[in-house]
Amino acid sequence: MKLFEINPPITEIDLGDYSIRSKEVVEQFRSLKDIHSIFKNQSSYEKMDPNQVAYTVQYWLPVKEGTEGGLFWGTTNLHPGKVGGEYFMTKGHFHSNASRAEFYWGVQSKGALILMDENRNTWVEEMYPGSLHYIPGSVAHRVANIGDGILIFGACWPSDSGHDYASIAENGFSARLMEVDGKPVLIKEDEQETSFPSM
């Protein structure tokens, strides 16, 4: 007698590299030229290949963007590199729906999660395979690759979070993660120099 059917899941992740296999997956590609204005040293950027990959993201969006109560899932592959001593990093954003929180976790290689609250206090959490990060609402988040290989991290956030990139494009974070004597150091922005070229 057949009591119930066991269906295959509609989505799978590879437990090695966290790549997602799903019908609803959306791929995003960011080259250096797409994100160059987030870096301090534009003259160093001018000497680099603008088409080199900075990061790719796979988004699994099982519900429509903006749905209350739903969840989204993402895997980011952030390439290693530096622009004038500043590590390759994601654009970074606040959530438009400010109360919405997020989980990040490290999958491969070494990273730094740069967090900034609404009062522009900035701090950093180390990322490594197995590190787990709770990003509260109203906290901007960006990740820098401080290792030698491709940094992979996972993310899960509410489907009605939205992404506010404009505030970061306009005002940046209040500190930058730079390599100094071979080590990552968080350097506060000079308050006079907080304006960024718009993206």
* Contact predicate 179/127, CB 8 Å: no
Residue type for 139, please? V
Q: Which stretch binds ligand PAN (CB under 6 A): 12-20, 37-45, 84-92, 170-178?
A: 84-92
Residue 139 CB, shortest distance to ligand PAN, in Å, is 11
DSSP string, 71-111: EEEEEEEE---EETTEEPB---BB-SSTT--EEEEEEES-E
Question: Nearest 5°: phi and psi at 188?
Answer: -65, 140
Least distance between ligand PAN and beta carbon 1 (Å): 45
Minimum CB–partner distance for residue 81 and ligand PAN (Å) = 16
Binding mask 128-167 for ligand PAN (x = CB under 6 A): -------------xx------------x-x---x-x----
Site map for Zn ion, 83-102, x if CB under 5 A?
-------------------x
User: What's the N-to-C CA distance of the chain in angstroms?
Assistant: 62
Measured CA to CA, the distance from residue 72 to residue 132 in angstroms comes to 17
Least distance (Å) between residue 33 CB and ligand PAN:
14
- The 99-138 site mask, x for binding Zn ion (CB under 5 A), equals ---x------------------------------------
Nearer to ligand PAN, 18 or 157 (CB): 157
**Spatial separation of the C-alpha atoms in residues 129 and 151, rounded to whole Å:** 9
Report what 90 binds from Zn ion, ligand PAN, none; CB cut-off 5-8 Å by kind. Answer: ligand PAN
Q: Which one of Zn ion, ligand PAN, none interacts with residue 156, CB within 5 to 8 A by kind?
A: none
Q: What is the largest CA-CA distance in the chain?
A: 75
Q: Judged by CB under 6 A, which of 36, 93, 133, 176 binds ligand PAN?
A: 93
Q: What share of the chain is helix, strand, coil (3-state, %, to 5)?
A: 10, 45, 45
Angle at alpha carbon of residue 177, lines to 147 and 17, rounded to 5°? 35
Residues contributing to the site for ligand PAN (CB under 6 A): 57, 74, 76, 90-93, 102, 141-142, 155, 157, 161, 163
